[in-house]
């Protein structure tokens, strides 16, 4: 059974700092990995999707990397802003489009 | 472009009652999913559907029933609600299930309270 772990559970940084969120998974036989953002009381918004054959994906200030063999992914956020404050969720697709989620990292960026 | 919608957004019911949560998507995506989100457990898959009239169980299907007679709708029914089913329920959809190549798009969620 696939298990996904996210570290740290919570992170507080001052505005402007670069930061890294970590995600690890137990079964390396994955199709893809997605990073989501969830604002309080809201649904999930997809940020980046990395296929199993890819090493990284970039969107604006976000960069996600994938090391399938070691079961790890990182989400790098450059020049963090208060508007980046949210919970970030990592989810692994091991087949049939079904996702296994980590419990998330709650990020607070203070002005 | 409405995307994916859920109704109701909030629901309070009593133990033993039947409750149906609705999910509707306008993209004609083949795959649809139901998740529940609980503190301490994160998001867990309840049921999913690869196409109309095709459904399958996820990680936590007990106490839930789904149907998919039309591609765009995927209702979730709690046949006899229990307090343990108090949760936030999210519907999602994606296109292309082969190899799991596509992004999942989530609805805004339904907050269900069972008294």
pLDDT at B11 over 90: yes
- Name the closest residue on chain A to residue B93, using Cα atoms: A97
Judging contacts by C-beta atoms under 8 Å, the chain B residues touching residue A91 are: 43, 104
Q: Positive or negative CA dihedral for A35, A52, B42, A64?
A: negative
Report the pLDDT value the prediction gives residue B44, as an integer from 0 to 100: 94
Model confidence over B28-79: pLDDT tens digits?
888 999 999 998 888 999 999 999 999 999 999 999 999 999 999 999 999 9
SS3 content of chain A, % helix, strand, coil (to 5): 5, 60, 35
Put simply, the answer to whether B90 touches A45 (Cβ < 8 Å) is no
Indicate the pLDDT class of residue B97, thresholds 50, 70 and 90.
low
Put simply, the answer to whether B105 touches A32 (Cβ < 8 Å) is no
Report the pLDDT value the prediction gives residue A90, as an integer from 0 to 100: 97
Indicate the pLDDT class of residue B96, thresholds 50, 70 and 90.
low
Model confidence over A92-103: pLDDT tens digits?
998 777 899 999
d(CA A81, CA A13): 10
**What residues 59-88 of chain B have any CB closer than 8 A to a CB of chain A?**
none
Model confidence over A36-91: pLDDT tens digits?
999 998 999 999 999 989 999 999 999 999 999 999 999 999 999 999 999 999 99
A60 close to B (CB below 8 A): no
């Amino acid at each position: 059974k696939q298990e996904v772990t996210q570290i740290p559970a919570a992170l507080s940084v001052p505005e402007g700092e670069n930061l890294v969120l970590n995600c690890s998974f137990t079964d390396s036989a994955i199709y893809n990995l997605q990073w989501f953002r969830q604002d309080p009381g809201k649904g999930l918004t997809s940020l980046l999707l990395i296929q199993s054959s890819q090493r990284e994906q970039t969107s604006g200030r976000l960069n996600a990397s994938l090391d399938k063999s070691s079961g790890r992914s990182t989400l790098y956020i450059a020049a963090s802003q208060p508007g980046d404050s949210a919970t970030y969720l990592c989810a692994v697709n091991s087949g049939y489009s079904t996702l296994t989620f980590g419990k998330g990292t709650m990020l607070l960026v203070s002005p | 472009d409405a995307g994916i919608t859920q109704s109701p957004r909030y629901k309070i019911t009593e133990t033993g009652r039947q409750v149906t949560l609705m999910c509707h998507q306008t993209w004609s995506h083949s795959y649809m999913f139901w998740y529940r989100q609980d503190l301490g457990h994160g998001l867990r898959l309840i049921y999913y559907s690869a196409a109309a009239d095709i459904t399958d169980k996820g990680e936590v299907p007990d106490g839930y029933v789904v149907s998919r007679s039309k591609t765009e709708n995927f209702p979730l029914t709690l046949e006899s609600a229990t307090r343990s089913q108090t949760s936030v329920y999210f519907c999602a959809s994606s296109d292309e299930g082969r190899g799991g190549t596509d992004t999942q798009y989530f609805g805004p969620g339904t907050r269900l309270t069972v008294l």
